[in-house]
A and B are shown apart, each in its own frame.
Chain A
Amino acid sequence: MSNKQHVLTTYKQLIRALVKSSKRAKITQMKEDHKREIALLTYRKIGLVRQQASDPTSSSKGQNVHQLHDLTKRIQMLKSSDPSQRKDLHFYDNSSRLRQTIFQDLPSDESVLSKRLQHLSDLSGFVKNQLEYEQLVERYNPGLKMDQEEKVKRTAARVGLQVPDL
């Protein structure tokens, strides 16, 4: 295999590993952001509804209805959107710096080059195995992923109780 080919193959492995690992984290992060935003919008919506109920003759009624409609639409949109479908998740977002780091003064000496490429493989090996490891641990210990609220809910459910919705 020519040197250039070798460099490209090694680079591809690294990109593959990095994309897979950051995709997972980003989807989780985005889902959480969505959840938070939905909660916020819902809270605002409830506020509006209450305001309307307490003062049905208000002059700003038309405006309120409009706002309410707007909020509902945004909540719907957030609920139906699936971050895992985003195409930009298929790309590694820090690739220009990665390239600069790897290819800046690429050594011409055969043994130095092969050591650097080996180093890149070590990094992709790490990223890949770290991801697989985390996924396995999560699969075998589902409790790890739950937050406190979820744990309390499930603990209550075990003895037939239900945590009140607040």
Chain B
Amino acid sequence: MLRIGSRTVVHNSRIWNARFNGWSASKARFYAKNAALGIDSTVENNMQTETNRISKTLKKFWSEVATEETGKVITLTLDKKPVRTPLGNNLAVSRDRRLLALALQHEWANLATKSIKPHSLPITSLVSRCIDLEYASRPDANPELVAKIGADREDISHTLLRYLDTDTLLCLSPRSEFEGTLRAAQDKLYLPLISAAEKFLSDTANQHVSLQILDADLHGLRGNAQPEKTKAAALKYLRSLSMWDLAVFEKTVLSTKSFLCGLLLLQNKSVSPSSDLLLTMEKLAHCATLETVYQVERWGEVEDTHDVDYRDIRRNVNAAAIVAYKE
């Protein structure tokens, strides 16, 4: 994953040695062994790529951002040189994602210069993850590398599956709260989506599966677990996704804390979405934060929290939707 600015900037002698020896990231990939304590020598953070450079120096170092079409792909370039992902792949998208290329260009062309924040490049960050996951899923990929960037398909799937147990869309509030208005809204918004998702998962698994809802009135405070059959169906669905889509799914689930939101988002951006799963991204974000809406209404908005979260989930959901879309 692209972790712009999330690590302390450390001086790494390997980079310098490498530079003096004429070492090139595109030819060699090195792996850290016996690294000194406190020095970040992980491969994904030290490969000489533009994305890593920006995460270390946090400075703008180019003057011209452009895109270049070659063959089937559109590559983002800085001063005519292709931008590379943390693993050293070109930051490029296929021609059927033209607007995504434009979005990438906009993102890099409109950075306020002085300092670049971890949150400044969300599209780049997600697209990089998509590209690197695709790269790491090739049969000849180095297993060490796969482990380092957390690219193992089964690991990702099982981590994400855990979100289905406590899915935001599957947790219903008690009717005693907010005079029952929150619960009424949940019933109205969630229940149709839940049954549509059940139908979708049943179709995927070729057998009927149901989603276990955690109803605060019936179950009180306890954990929730999906039936084995449902889990199997969900896993089967995840296995059917391309690596690219899996990365988008991961991003959506992590932002919304909801497996179903990931499924809804991808389905809406798929070639032929089924009509009962259709919804706008604004509505998706609204569903994922419904409880907060009612809390803010009653108790007031907490500055530096609710307002920031409101924007955060929307920028993330929309970013995931743009990356998922394909003509």
Interface assignment of B191: CB less than 8 Å from any CB of chain A: no
B307 partner, pick from A120, A134, A136, beta carbons under 8 A: A136
Contact A145–B114 (Cβ < 8 Å): yes
Q: Is the contact region of chain A dominated by helix, strand, or loop, or is it mixed?
A: helix
Interface assignment of B102: CB less than 8 Å from any CB of chain A: yes
Contact A94–B102 (Cβ < 8 Å): yes
B311 partner, pick from A32, A120, A122, A129, beta carbons under 8 A: A129
The docked-state distance in angstroms from the alpha carbon of A119 to that of B312 is: 19
Contact B106–A147 (Cβ < 8 Å): no
Within 8 Å CB of B103, what residues of A?
A: 123, 126-127
Interface assignment of A42: CB less than 8 Å from any CB of chain B: no
- Least CB distance, B30 to chain A, in whole angstroms: 31
Interface assignment of A28: CB less than 8 Å from any CB of chain B: yes
Interface assignment of B225: CB less than 8 Å from any CB of chain A: no
Within 8 Å CB of A116, what residues of B?
A: 327
Contact A140–B315 (Cβ < 8 Å): no
Contact B99–A123 (Cβ < 8 Å): yes
**CB 8 Å contact bits of B86-113 with A (1 = contact, 0 = none):** 0000000000001100110110011111
The docked-state distance in angstroms from the alpha carbon of A5 to that of B128 is: 36
The docked-state distance in angstroms from the alpha carbon of A133 to that of B315 is: 8
Contact A101:B99 (CB < 8 A) given known A121-B280, A126-B318: yes
The docked-state distance in angstroms from the alpha carbon of A119 to that of B96 is: 13
Q: Is the contact region of chain B dominated by helix, strand, or loop, or is it mixed?
A: helix
A140 partner, pick from B105, B304, B327, beta carbons under 8 A: B304
Interface residues of B in 66-125 (CB under 8 A from A): 98-99, 102-103, 105-106, 109-115, 117, 119-120, 122-123
Interface assignment of A22: CB less than 8 Å from any CB of chain B: yes
Interface range on chain A: under 10, 10 to 19, 20 to 34, or 35 or more?
35 or more
Interface residues of A in 29-47 (CB under 8 A from B): 29, 32
Interface range on chain B: under 10, 10 to 19, 20 to 34, or 35 or more?
35 or more
Contact B115–A147 (Cβ < 8 Å): yes
Cβ-closest chain A residue relative to B311: A133
Contact A122:B117 (CB < 8 A) given known A130-B122, A133-B312: no
Interface assignment of B322: CB less than 8 Å from any CB of chain A: yes
Interface assignment of A72: CB less than 8 Å from any CB of chain B: no
Interface assignment of A8: CB less than 8 Å from any CB of chain B: no
Contact B308–A122 (Cβ < 8 Å): no
**CB 8 Å contact bits of A83-111 with B (1 = contact, 0 = none):** 00000000000100110011000000000
- Least CB distance, A96 to chain B, in whole angstroms: 12
Within 8 Å CB of A97, what residues of B?
A: 102
The docked-state distance in angstroms from the alpha carbon of A145 to that of B99 is: 30
- Least CB distance, B1 to chain A, in whole angstroms: 19
Contact A119–B282 (Cβ < 8 Å): no
Interface residues of B in 302-321 (CB under 8 A from A): 303-304, 307-308, 311-312, 314-315, 318-319, 321
Contact A28–B99 (Cβ < 8 Å): no
Contact A127–B106 (Cβ < 8 Å): yes
- Least CB distance, B216 to chain A, in whole angstroms: 30
What are 19 A-to-B residue pairs whose CB atoms are below 8 Å? A21-B106, A28-B113, A29-B112, A32-B114, A94-B105, A101-B99, A102-B99, A119-B99, A119-B325, A123-B103, A125-B314, A125-B318, A126-B319, A127-B103, A129-B311, A129-B315, A134-B120, A140-B303, A145-B115
Q: Which residues in B have some Cβ–Cβ distance to A below 8 Å? A: 98-99, 102-103, 105-106, 109-115, 117, 119-120, 122-123, 268-269, 280-282, 303-304, 307-308, 311-312, 314-315, 318-319, 321-322, 325, 327
With A28-B114, A32-B113, A120-B99 already in contact, 10 other A-B pairs whose C-beta atoms are closer than 8 Å: A18-B106, A29-B113, A101-B99, A115-B325, A119-B321, A123-B322, A129-B318, A132-B311, A134-B120, A137-B117
The 10 closest A-B pairs by CB, nearest first: A126-B318, A133-B311, A25-B110, A129-B315, A129-B314, A28-B112, A125-B318, A122-B321, A140-B304, A130-B315
Q: Which residues in A have some Cβ–Cβ distance to B below 8 Å? A: 18, 21-22, 24-26, 28-29, 32, 94, 97-98, 101-102, 115-116, 118-123, 125-127, 129-130, 132-134, 136-137, 140, 144-145, 147
